[in-house]
Amino acid sequence: FDYDAFRHNQLKSYISSNSKIVTSHELNIIDLNIRIVENFTCFKTNRLFQVIRTTICVHNRTDFVSAYYYGNSIYEQDALHLLFRIFLKYQHLGLIDVGANIGTYTMFAAAMNRFVIAIECFRPNYMRIVKAIQMEKLQQNVILIGNALYSQSGHKLSLSQDPTNIGGQAIYDSSPINKSLDNPYVVKTMRFDDLLPIIKETKKRSFLLKADIEGSEYHIFESGKQVLDYIDIPIIFMEWDKIRYHKARATNIINFLTTRQYIATIDTCKQVNATVPIEQWPVNIFWTKMNGSEIC
């Protein structure tokens, strides 16, 4: 895989002139070889499946996600086990990590020598991912995109701020007063379909999808029909904690996925009770369209 083919100033070379997909000037593709001047704290993780270790670079110890690594643990370790056991069985799968935060899923997938497309809009997060990638020498395994998923490309939006969850911001559906992208809480948007030229260039057609973007997961499906029709995604791991309180959006996601033969499960095997009100569904959902006998 040739990382240089995806450098920001080369994207136009493989996108047709009549493409409706917004291209290079909208996508913020991060140079994974950029010199890191910040002095980040980084940890070598515990082993996943008693074998796989990687590096995670963290915020301070009061940050919700970072605290796991200060405590010699792994963030969402149980979910990682459930999702990544699929990697162990199906070697052809890559990962699309939407809302990568400080890179737990991205770094473990890359450490398993899987191809990863990671989307993370918050600069203090994605620069920590870059540092971890450099320390592990995994540049060839990852494409990192520094945009926020939204229904339209090229908009500037604000992020919420939470000192106890530094990397877990939600986007505001309004333009910021200060529109400078030098402010890490101002982000530029992309549509999920903006990934299509990149995915086509990789020649890869099968991915697991992990989505955790603080209630904005709806935008993946609203803006990504071309990508979702083009690639095979046997399992979608989605945070449901916030979207379940937006009934219209949650219902649209459910309809979109069930039409495509996905089943909502708690752990890739046990189905969610569809008679339970949406707001009472679990905080995380594994949407699967795999044969249960293959993975359960």
pLDDT digits (tens, 9 = 90+) for 139-160: 999 999 999 999 999 999 989 8
Strands 94-98 and 116-119: parallel
* Residue 156's CATH number: 3.40.50.150
1 pLDDT more than 60:
no
Whole-number Cα distances in Å, 53 to 1, 31, 87, 142, 161: 23, 24, 15, 17, 31
Q: Which residues of 62-89 are buried (b: 16+ CB within 10 A; e: fewer)?
A: ebebbbbbeeeebbbeebbebbbebbee
pLDDT for position 177: 64
Does 4 score more than 70 pLDDT? no
Dig out the tokens for 124 from the structure.
């203090």
User: What is the number of structural domains in the chain?
Assistant: 1
Above 90 in pLDDT, residue 179?
no
> Residue 20: is its pLDDT beyond 50?
no
- Alpha-carbon distance values, 1 to 4, 70, 115, 148 (Å): 9, 34, 9, 25
- Determine the Cα angle at 232 with ends 228 and 238, to 5°: 65
pLDDT band at 215 (very low <50, low <70, confident <90, very high): confident
Cα separation of 239 and 153, whole Å? 23
User: Percent of the chain at pLDDT above 90?
Assistant: 75
User: Read out DSSP for 251-283?
Assistant: HHHHHHHHHTT-EEESSSSSBP-TTS-GGGS-S
Residue 212 lies in domain: 3-295
Tokens of 172: 């505001």
The predicted-structure confidence for 234-249, as pLDDT tens digits, reads as follows: 999 999 998 888 889 9
Residue 181: pLDDT band by 50, 70, 90 thresholds?
A: confident
